Structure 1
Amino acid sequence: MDDGPPTLVRADLPDAAADLATRVRLPEPALAYDYFKSMASVSVATLGGILTLGETVFGARLAPWQMGVAALPVAISGLLAIQGKTDIMQLCQGLKPPLNSSRIALRLVPSLYGLGLGMFLAFLALSYLAPGIAADLR
């Protein structure tokens, strides 16, 4: 039994398409695909959590613009993860993706996700630790 990740490169591709898939693809496309799939799901769940908590539990403490500013990087992170999955699938089918953003998305997805979540927690902490400053921001 092989414990390594499954290969996503098709064996039945013509030589030109197989060459393209090996030249442009990521070193571990199966792991990158699973990572993007997970991050897309986590981003959607986090986005729902930010918006739900910001409207209900912490609605009196957070301004709507604060929720929007915190939710925007998380939403972009999820969109980049979906685009990365699409690029990987196109590469594995022997097609050249128009943008091939999967390499840069591996760096941007966690950065934007962490930025959005960190901003939400910072706005929340600021509303508790310095209520006067937080009230001025509203």
Structure 2
Amino acid sequence: MSKRGERMQSEVLAALRRRHAPMTAYDVLRDLRAAHPKIAPPTVYNALAALTKQGRAHRVESLKAYIACQCDGHQSASILSICEDCGMVEERLAPDVLTTLSGILGESGFAPQRHVIEVHGICATCGAGQTP
């Protein structure tokens, strides 16, 4: 990979980490425009694709957005909890859940290629202000 590609991936990842919330590719593009006025959407999409493939970022499928990976060096898929109130996304690892899920799907001959598990609800912070 070129130095320019590596540098852009670093800048995109830094933008995702600064935000602490899911960002669309166009959110990232707007964030990087100050430093790179001529940046084009394909540059951001390529960097996001590379970061996702490397496991350094995750695509939040239901939001069509991305977050920086919150876990260090994991080899299994993540479970993303998404707060419907504040938009916070938290990443958790549960390899046993994924193994069980793959086993259940495999009973019918289905061969999972990748897992994307997203759970929408209310985070503890937002839920603390609600009465049951």
- TM (norm. structure 1) is 0.25
Structure showing the higher strand proportion among its residues: 2
Q: Looking at both structures, which has the greater relative contact order when contacts are Cα pairs under 8 Å and sequence separation is at least 6?
A: 1
Bigger Cα Rg = 1
The alignment's TM-score, normalised by the length of structure 2, stands at 0.26
Q: Which has the higher helix share?
A: 1
